[in-house]
Every structure is written in structure tokens, then in C-alpha cells.
Amino acid sequence: MGSAVNDLVCMEDGEKNALLSSLPGRELQILELLDVLGPVNSPMLPLFVYGDASTGKTSSILQIFRYLKRPFIYASCRTCYAPRLLFSSVKQRCERPADGTMIYFVFDSMELVRKWDKHLEITSMLFKLYEILKLPQVAFIFISSASLDMYLINTGFVEPMQVHFPGYKEEDLFRIFKKNHASQNPLYETFLKDAAVLGSFFKVTSRVEELSNAFAPLFQKYCEPLSVTGLVPAEDKAQKLNLYARFKQNVLPALNEMFKVPKSADVDKVIEFHMPVSTKLLLISSFLASWNPATDDAPLFDSFGGDENRKRKRKISESFKLKKQKLIMKGPRTFSLERLLAIFQCVTVAKSLENEGQVEDKNVFERAEVCRADVLLQLSTLCNANFISKGGNCSLKGSTWFRCTVSEEFVMQIAKSVPFPLLRYLHKT
């Protein structure tokens, strides 16, 4: 009898160790949660598990329940994106005979509830459900990436017990990546540690999914020399150093690279946009309308306004710093359709350029051609492509406003491809 019980205990310990080792870096939290969940069929006060995104909250809870083999009902506020869906999904899975065993309700991604309609009522209702029901066989677990102080709280709010999941430390991350990858390739460990990849990325982010996205292409690059020379990975120190020397210069660019853009041979033009010339000009005019003050339109585009313009500029330069700061603060301004069309007219019509003695005179006639294209249709295309954002209510009343959302670098490239002397028309502040 005694030995059988001991065997059982041993097996339990083995399973517990497996649980702990399946989630490296979360041992303390798992032990704490196991204590809070307690023995079988023992009631529990509502529990609130919180911690930053990607700290293993959901997977810890799910693994724990798998290990404990207790019934639970899981509903995520991300997939059930409205109260109705949340409640019906819970209700569907609720319909089981109550035989006295504990049921745990797990509500995941609670932070999203804050963005719902009537979220105050719903959060206080969910947190108070335990008190309203007065059923000891039901337990509630809430998982949230926002701590309790970030919830807007209404009357009826009952504070739950809290368990915090802190962010991963560098050692924890090392163990996680080692566990996930080292079995496939023994070099991975050296890649993380000796090549200082993990150390330098950890300074930027500690989120596992972001790191693993960044590491995958880097590791390929790290192993490249091996596949080229046909070497076999070995525990050779000289080889490791060799690999590291070849690889070193790749880390820093990768740190700053958010999205992988396939590079063509020509580095200067990273992405080419295939748009009609008239659309490009329209985009440029919208950029000018957004960043130039409306008062400068006349001097900039009027052939006689050159001198006046220069005077005004000097005045502006006195309050240069303040203005610049203001501009940075405000971002692109809104403009009306009329103003856009006027600027577009000026940009396309040859006259204003001829007077200033442009080099690109040969383009002028092409541009005049462009004027005939359907501007409104192109404008709506640009709006749909999110290059220009549209606001206001009714286009018939003329109360619509637009705003150019593209960056200066992008417009510069577009201007270069037309070509169009953008800098000359940009208000200098």
C-alpha cells in the first residue's frame, strides 16, 4: 500500500517537473498558481493573472490545467470580440451536468474588454460574477496584459486576487530559445550566446515572438558559410570564431530592421511605385497642401510673388524654433478639395515653371496633358490606398477635408521619378 502511494507521488513529481520544464523561466509563477488553485474540488476566490504581452500567461494556465486534468471553460475576449459572442461561447460549453466537481472559467485577453461598448458594466459584472452566483463550485480566472490600475473602474467592482507574470530575463530567454531550437541545430546555442545575438536584441525587446521572427533569418545567415564550404558543424573553437567573424556585421543592421524588404541590385530605389504620372503629381500636390501653410500658396505658385515670399521667409526664421516644433507637433494639416485642385493646377500647368526658368522644361507639356485625367477618380484611389486620409461628413456640402499621410522621403522619391522639383515648393521652416 505504502509503496503504491509512493509510486503515485513519484509519478506526480515527474509530471510536475515536466510541467515546470515545459515553460522555462516561469517556474515561480507556475508554483504560485498551483498553490492558489489548491487541491481538487476546493473553492477559490477570483484570480487575476496579469503581465506584459508575451510572458506566457495563457500557456502557463492552459498547461497547468492539462497537468491537473481539471475541467475548465476557456473564452478569449480576442476571438469573442463582443459581449454577446463571449457569453454565448461560454454558455455553449457550460451545458454539462453539475455533478459537484469544480469548474474553472478562464477569461483571456481581458484588456480588450476596455475597448468595448459598455465596458464598465461588463468588467464589473465579470469581476463580480463570483459574488453574484454564490456558488463555491465555480472559480474564475482572468488573464490580462493590463494591470488592474489600467482598468476604468465603475461601481460594483470587486478586487480579485492577483498573480503577476514579470517579463523574461535574458537567461530565461536563452533557455526558451535553447529549448525550442537547440535540438535541431547544435550551433544555435553558440549563435545566441557567443555571437551576442540575444544580448544585443534583448536591449531592444524581450517579447518572444518578435525575437524569434528576428532570429530566424539571422541564424540562416550565420550558418551560410557552412553550407557554402560544406563544413560539418563541430564543437571547434576556431570554427566558431571564424563563423562569428563572418557574421558580426549582420547583427547591427538586423537590429534596426523591422520588416524584411527584399533588396534589388539597385540600393537607391528600394520600392518602385507604379502609378500614372498624374496620380503621382496629385499625391505631390496633396503633400504640399498638407505641409505648406495656406497663406503661402499664392507667393509660392504666383509668378509675381517671388520677392514678397522671400521677405516673409525672413520674418519666419526669427521664430524658427517655435514654428518648427509646432509643425512637428501638429503633423500634416487638413485641406479642402478646392485647395488641392488649385495646387494641382499650378503643379501641372507650365506657366509657373517657365517663369522661373526651369531645367525640366521638356516635361512641362507632358504635365499639361496630365491635367485632363480624371482627378476625382484618382483622388478616391489615393484615399482608398491610404495615401490620403479623408474626413468630414458630406462631399456634396463641401465639408470634406483631406490629409496627406505619406512621409517626406516617400514623396521625395515620387518627385524624383516624375521628375518634379519638390524642394522648391516646400515651405521652409
Partner 1 sequence: METSTAAEKALILLRSRICNPNFVFSALSDKPDSNYSKLKFLLSSSVTESCNNSVLLLGPRGCGKIPVLELVLQDLQSEHPETISVVRLNGILHSDDNYALKEIARQLCLEHDLEFSKMASSDDNSQFMIAMLQKCGLDHRTLIFVLDEFDLFTQGKQRLLYCLLDAMQSVMSQAVVVGSSCRLDADQLLEKRVRSRFSHRKLLFLPPSKEDLQILLEHILSLPTDSSFPHDYVVEFNEKVHCILGDQRFKAILTKLSDADSSVNNLLRFLFRSICNMDLKESRFLSIKNFETASKSIHQQPKLESLQDCSTLEHYILVCMKRLETKEQNSYNFNSVMKEYKDIHDAFPVYVTYYERDRCLTAFEHLEQRGLISFEDVRGQNPSVQFRSVKLLVSSHQLQESLKANSSSIPGKIRTLLMS
| Residues at the site binding partner 1, with contacts judged by CB under 8 A | 2, 5, 32, 35-36, 38-39, 41-45, 50, 52-53, 121, 124-125, 128, 131-132, 136, 145-150, 155-156, 158-159, 161-164, 166-167, 202-207, 255-256, 258-259, 325, 328-332, 389, 403, 405
- Whichever of 69 and 372 has its CB closer to partner 1, that residue is 69
The least distance separating partner 1 from the CB of residue 132, rounded to whole angstroms, comes to 6
- Whichever of 210 and 302 has its CB closer to partner 1, that residue is 210
Residue 333 DSSP symbol: P
The least distance separating partner 1 from the CB of residue 170, rounded to whole angstroms, comes to 8
Element (H, E) at 161: strand 161-165
- Whichever of 53 and 349 has its CB closer to partner 1, that residue is 53
The least distance separating partner 1 from the CB of residue 86, rounded to whole angstroms, comes to 15
The least distance separating partner 1 from the CB of residue 58, rounded to whole angstroms, comes to 16
- Whichever of 388 and 426 has its CB closer to partner 1, that residue is 388
- Rounded CA-CA distance 348/363 in Å is 10
Contact 279, 381 (CB under 8 A): yes
- Whichever of 115 and 362 has its CB closer to partner 1, that residue is 115
Distances (CA, A) of 75 to 105, 109, 419: 8, 9, 56
- Whichever of 308 and 408 has its CB closer to partner 1, that residue is 408
b/e 354-387 (16+ beta carbons within 10 angstroms → b): eeeeeeeeebbeebeebeeeebeebbebbeeeeb
Long-range pairs of 394-397 with CB within 8 A, sequence gap ≥ 24 = 395/337
The least distance separating partner 1 from the CB of residue 83, rounded to whole angstroms, comes to 13
> What are the DSSP calls for 18-55, one per residue?
HHHHHSTT-HHHHHHHHHHH-STT-----EEEEESTTS
Element (H, E) at 106: strand 103-108
- Whichever of 2 and 230 has its CB closer to partner 1, that residue is 2
Contact 282, 371 (CB under 8 A): no
The least distance separating partner 1 from the CB of residue 257, rounded to whole angstroms, comes to 8
The least distance separating partner 1 from the CB of residue 92, rounded to whole angstroms, comes to 20
- Rounded CA-CA distance 383/402 in Å is 9
**Ordered alpha helix ranges (H), 248-305:** 251-256, 277-291, 297-301
